[in-house]
Amino acid sequence: MLQTKSFFVMNQTIPENHTNSNGTPVLTIADCFTANSEALSTVDLLPISPGDWSDLWEKRKLNPAWCVANVHRITQSDVKKLSFAAYCNGLLLHGIGGMQFKPDKPSTDDKGKTRKYITASGKGNWNASLPLCPNLKELYWTDIELLKNRCPKIDGIPYILIAEGFWKALMGCSFDIPTISIPGVDMWGNREGDSDIKRPLPIFQYFASQGFGFIIAYDADSATNTNVKSAELELAKALNLINVPVRTITGHWQASEGKGMDDYIANNGIDKFRDIVRNAEILKHLNKSFSNPDATRIDAGANRKQQRLDGYYCLVKEEIGHKFKFNELTQQIECEGKAFYLEYMRLWFSRHLQLDVSESDACAVISTIALENSYHP
C-alpha cells in the first residue's frame, strides 16, 4: 500500500503520494514545507480591515481576490503563537509554506532600522512561500503541466520567478507569472551540519526536478547593492550546481520606475514587465563569481584555503580540464557531453585523482573549470 502524506492550507487537504509507480520515494510539494496548518489552526484569521484595503488596493494595486486568499488580520495574542517576535496586531501574509507578519506598530532593530516585516524566529520556522490561488487553490502549483503552460518560457524552458517579499509574489501570480517569495535575499537555502555548502530550499529542488528554471527578480536598487549582488550570485551558483537553469532580471528597470517587481507592474503595467521577463539574462558575471571568492563570500580572507583550491584547480585543469564544460542552453555542467551532478564531484576526485577533498572544494573547482569552458550549442 502506498504511503501518503497530507498538507493543509486554509482547511484544504490534499493527499500527496510519496512513491511513484515502481515504489521509489519521490519528493512532493508537501515534503518541501514544515506544516504550518497546526499553527494556523490555533489562531483566529480575521478579515482585512478597510484601512488595510487602502494600502493593498489603492496604493499597491494588488488583486483583491488574491489578498483575501493570502492575507489576514491577527491579534497580538496570536502573533506569539506563530513565533513572531512582535507585540502588536497586524497582517499575516501566508500562502503555501512560509509566513511573514506586517506589524501595525513596527519596531526598530539594534541598528535603528524599522522592521516593516517580521519572519518567524527559530530554526525551521521560516521558508519560501507560494501564494495560494483564490480559484485553483493549491492546484495552481501542484498541477505541473498547467504550471508549465502558465510559466514564461525561454528556449523552451519554463521559468518560475524568485522575489524577496510576499507582495511581489502575490502580484506576479495574480497575473499568471508564477513567483515564489523568500523572506530575505539570502534566505533561499540552508547549510547542512558543518558543510560549507548552502543548499537551496527543498521547494526549489522540487521544481528543478520537474524541469523548471528560475529567474531571480530582486529589487531594482539591488543592482548597486554589493551585499544583495553577492546574495544573488550565491543563489545562482547553488542552483547551477544542481544543474538548474537560472537567469536574472535584477536591475533590468530603474528604481524610479518602481523599487520591486510589484511596484514596477503597478506603475508601468504587466505587458512591460512581461517584456522584461522575456529578456531575462544568464548572469554574465557568474563566471567571475566562481573564480573570485570575494564575490560569493567564500572565505575571501582565508589564504590557506585559497592556496589549496588553487592547487586542486591547476591539477584538474592540466590533467583533464577540457572534459568539463558548461552548457549555456541547458545551464548544466557537463563531463564529456553528459550532465555532471553535484553529488558526484567528491567521488570523482577520489576515483580519478586519488584525492580526498571536501564537497565544497570539489564543487568550487569543477564549477570554475566548467564555466571557463562555457559553450552554447
Q: Which of 196, 201, 139 is nearest to 173 (CA)?
A: 139
The total number of structural domains that make up the chain: 3
Domain co-membership, 168 together with 256: yes
Instruction: Kindly state whether residue 143 falls inside one of the protein's structural domains.
Output: yes
Length of the chain: 377
Domain co-membership, 132 together with 117: no
246: domain range? 128-283
Domain co-membership, 201 together with 304: no
Residue that terminates a domain, selected from 228, 252, 283: 283
Its pTM surpasses 0.85: no
Q: Interior CA angle at 145 toward 238 and 99, to 5°?
A: 55
Instruction: Kindly state whether residue 158 falls inside one of the protein's structural domains.
Output: yes
Residue that terminates a domain, selected from 81, 99, 123: 123
Instruction: Kindly state whether residue 76 falls inside one of the protein's structural domains.
Output: yes
Residues ≥6 apart with Cβ < 8 Å to 209:
27
Domain co-membership, 114 together with 174: no
pLDDT at 289: 38
- Return per-residue pLDDT of the chain as tens, 377 residues: 223 222 323 222 323 343 333 443 445 666 665 445 567 777 888 999 988 998 998 899 999 999 999 999 999 988 888 878 888 999 999 888 888 999 999 988 777 888 899 887 655 567 899 999 999 888 999 999 999 999 999 999 999 999 999 999 999 999 999 999 999 888 888 776 666 667 888 889 889 989 999 999 999 877 677 778 778 888 888 887 777 889 999 889 998 999 999 999 999 999 999 999 999 988 654 544 333 434 333 333 344 455 566 667 777 776 778 888 888 887 788 888 888 876 677 787 777 766 777 777 788 788 888 888 888 88
- Positive/negative CA dihedral, 186, 201, 342, 210: negative
pLDDT at 302: 41
What pLDDT, in 10s, does the model give residues 152-184?
999 999 999 999 999 999 999 999 999 999 998
> CA-CA distances (angstroms) from residue 243 to 209, 272, 322, 339?
10, 30, 19, 8
Amino acid letter, residue 119: T
Cell numbers found for residue 257: 520606475
> CA-CA distances (angstroms) from residue 198 to 19, 144, 304, 306?
27, 27, 21, 19
CATH number at residue 222: 3.40.1360.10
Amino acid letter, residue 56: L
Instruction: Kindly state whether residue 7 falls inside one of the protein's structural domains.
Output: no
Contact 243, 333 (CB under 8 A): yes
- What are phi and psi for residue 17, nearest 5 degrees? -70, 140
Residue that terminates a domain, selected from 220, 254, 283: 283
> CA-CA distances (angstroms) from residue 35 to 6, 99, 128, 180?
9, 11, 13, 17
Residues ≥6 apart with Cβ < 8 Å to 232:
185, 216, 218, 222, 248, 250, 283
Residue 15 β-bridge partners = 6
